[in-house]
């Protein structure tokens, strides 16, 4: 079988960053972000179209300036557990912070989702850049950049160790012999590291896919390095074709340098397609969408998120961009550093920075179904992604993509016509990780 594109769906609810006005659309229910039926319907539509996964983002800090979806939304693992019982094939990927969780608790929750779904769970590991989150967990300050990434690496290692607590044949449940558990197949972890001390074992067995699939969004140097070391799926920043191609090559190169098979890490770029009957109609709609959300006060608040939800409204908008470099270290460091550097080089005011961050940028995936399919094929062939994480503002736009673009990709043998497996790993073409204890047993016996 030739290499094929993977597709994931990222629901917007009532509108996240860049979709501040979405809640006003009459086609969007005002309670969409807390309505489980909305998510079930989205997941079932994506599954009908043979998508690989449903992807749910999360954060744990808000203020009144945040987008509507952020203000009132369901917790990802609770949401996905409900969706799991109404779907059969689509993967279920939830975002959870390694900074504001404990490994044992989170490993248990994802293992539960994995069993509930029959092996379709995925964990998007984030370190959290909303600095205000710290105050919701009894901390005065957000952890610094290096500590967050060091903790994330150890967190994933601990979680994977806990997921291997039981070997796959640990439960013979032999009534005749009065043996439910083979204790030789149960293993404590006894981890003691820089950030965590976890004894184990975890009180839940492995699923059909062995372990949940680990995703990560690595942009900075440490982020890319973490992704190359532990991730099996990546949500990439996208950008231009050239930028996406360079990122793709860099991650695959780093992955190989760690002794991993580069084919065992799937890179998804973000895509917000706008599909219409003609290219002109799609471009016109793209511009309309931008204007619907083109509100300066919202842009200013969104700029503040990169600096730990900093309130830029306290500054003179037409004065030089303020010195806030100290806020970038514990916020969205990479993005914030780029903003500061551009402001310095181009001598921008605060108003100009806020406008430039939110300026209109054309998406490559806009046009008629044929045009969008052509662009997807060209980018895929250029080595920019393994998959696309798709976001649609409304159910109608999702349906239009599914009915218009997907059949063209299938006709070109770029996308599946049926699911290859019942697990997320199977559909992504990822191997089932061997239980580390079974592997040791096999090597000793061999």
pLDDT tens per residue across all 446 residues of the chain: 478 999 999 999 999 887 888 999 999 999 999 999 999 999 999 999 999 999 999 988 888 888 899 999 999 999 999 999 999 999 999 999 999 999 999 999 999 999 999 999 999 999 987 778 888 888 888 888 889 999 999 999 999 999 999 999 999 999 999 999 999 999 999 999 999 999 999 999 999 999 999 999 878 888 899 999 999 999 998 889 999 999 999 999 999 999 999 999 999 999 999 999 999 999 999 999 888 878 888 888 888 877 877 889 899 999 999 998 877 665 556 678 888 888 888 988 999 998 887 777 888 999 999 999 999 999 999 999 999 999 999 999 999 999 999 999 999 999 999 999 999 999 999 999 999 999 776 555 55
pLDDT at 333: 64
* Residue 197, SS3 per DSSP: strand
Cα separation, 338 vs 328, whole angstroms: 10
Residue labelled with tokens 């769970």: 121
Q: What is the SS3 assignment for 308-325? A: CCCCHHHCCCCCECCCCH
Indicate the burial class of 105 (C-beta count within 10 angstroms; 0-12, 13-18, 19 or more): exposed
- The tokens for 264 are 């065992």
Looking at the domain that runs over 6-280+364-442, which CATH code has it been given?
A: 3.20.20.30
The predicted pLDDT at position 239 comes to: 87
- Tell me how far CA of residue 145 lies from CA of 65, 97, 99, in angstroms: 25, 14, 11
Q: State how far the Cα of 351 lies from the Cα of 359, in Å rounded to an integer.
A: 12
65 to each of 17, 40, 117, how far by Cα in Å? 11, 28, 36
Domain ranges of the chain: 6-280+364-442, 295-357
Tokens of 152: 């994330």
Q: Give the per-residue pLDDT at 365.
A: 96
The values of phi and psi at residue 320, to 5°, are: -55, 150
Diameter of the chain measured on Cα atoms: 82
As given in the structure block, the two tokens for residue 110 are 């994802």
Residue 430 pLDDT: 97
Token pair listed for 286: 């793209």
- Per-residue pLDDT at 36: 98
Measured in whole angstroms, the distance separating CA 376 from the mean position of its chain's CA atoms is 20
Q: Note the pLDDT of residue 175.
A: 98
pLDDT at 443: 56
Which pLDDT does position 314 carry in this prediction? 92
Q: Do you know the residue count of the chain? A: 446
DSSP-derived 3-state class of residue 175: coil
Residue 273, CB half-sphere, CA atoms under 13 Å: how many?
33
Q: What one-character DSSP code corresponds to residue 168?
A: T
Joined together, the tokens standing for residue 284 give: 């016109």
My answer on whether omega of the bond before 201 falls inside 30° of 0, hence cis, is: yes
Are β-strands 233-236 and 366-367 bridged in parallel, bridged antiparallel, or unpaired? unpaired
């Amino acid at each position: 079988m030739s290499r094929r594109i993977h597709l994931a769906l990222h629901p917007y609810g009532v509108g996240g960053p860049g979709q501040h006005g979405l809640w006003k659309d009459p086609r969007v229910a005002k309670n969409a972000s807390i309505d489980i039926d909305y998510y079930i319907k989205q997941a079932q539509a994506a599954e009908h179209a043979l998508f690989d996964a449903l992807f749910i983002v999360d954060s744990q800090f808000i203020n009144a300036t945040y987008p509507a979806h952020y203000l009132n939304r369901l917790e990802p693992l609770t949401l996905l557990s409900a969706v799991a019982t109404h779907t059969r094939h689509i993967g279920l990927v939830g975002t959870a912070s390694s900074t504001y969780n404990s490994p044992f608790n989170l490993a248990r929750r994802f293992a539960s989702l994995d069993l509930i779904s029959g092996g379709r769970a995925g964990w998007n590991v984030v370190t959290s850049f909303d600095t205000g989150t710290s105050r919701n967990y009894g901390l005065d300050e957000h952890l610094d950049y290096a500590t967050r990434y060091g903790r994330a690496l150890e967190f994933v290692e601990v979680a994977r160790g806990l997921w291997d607590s039981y070997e796959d044949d640990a439960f013979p449940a032999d009534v005749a012999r009065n043996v439910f558990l083979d204790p030789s197949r149960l293993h404590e972890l006894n981890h003691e590291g820089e950030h965590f001390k976890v004894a184990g074992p975890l009180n839940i067995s492995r699923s059909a896919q062995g372990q949940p699939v680990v995703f990560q969004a690595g942009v900075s140097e440490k982020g890319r390095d973490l992704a190359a070391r532990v991730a099996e799926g990546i949500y990439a920043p996208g950008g231009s074709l050239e930028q996406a191609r360079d990122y793709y090559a860099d991650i695959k190169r780093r992955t190989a340098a760690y002794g991993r098979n580069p084919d065992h890490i799937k890179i998804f770029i973000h895509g917000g397609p706008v599909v219409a009957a003609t290219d002109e109609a799609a471009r016109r709609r793209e511009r309309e969408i931008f204007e619907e959300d083109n509100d300066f006060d919202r842009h200013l608040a969104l700029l503040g998120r990169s600096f730990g939800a900093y309130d830029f409204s306290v500054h003179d908008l037409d004065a030089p961009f303020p010195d806030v470099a100290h806020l970038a270290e514990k916020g969205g460091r990479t993005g914030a550093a780029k903003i500061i550097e551009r402001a310095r080089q181009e001598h921008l005011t605060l108003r100009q920075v806020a406008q430039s961050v939110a300026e209109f940028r054309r998406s490559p995936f806009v046009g008629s179904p044929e045009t969008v399919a052509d662009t997807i094929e060209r980018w895929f062939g250029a080595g920019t992604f393994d998959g696309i994480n798709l976001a649609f503002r409304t159910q109608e736009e999702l349906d239009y993509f599914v009915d218009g673009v997907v059949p063209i990709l299938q006709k070109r043998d770029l996308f599946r016509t049926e699911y290859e497996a019942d697990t997320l790993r199977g559909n992504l073409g990822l191997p089932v990780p061997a239980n580390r204890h079974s592997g040791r047993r096999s090597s000793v016996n061999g």
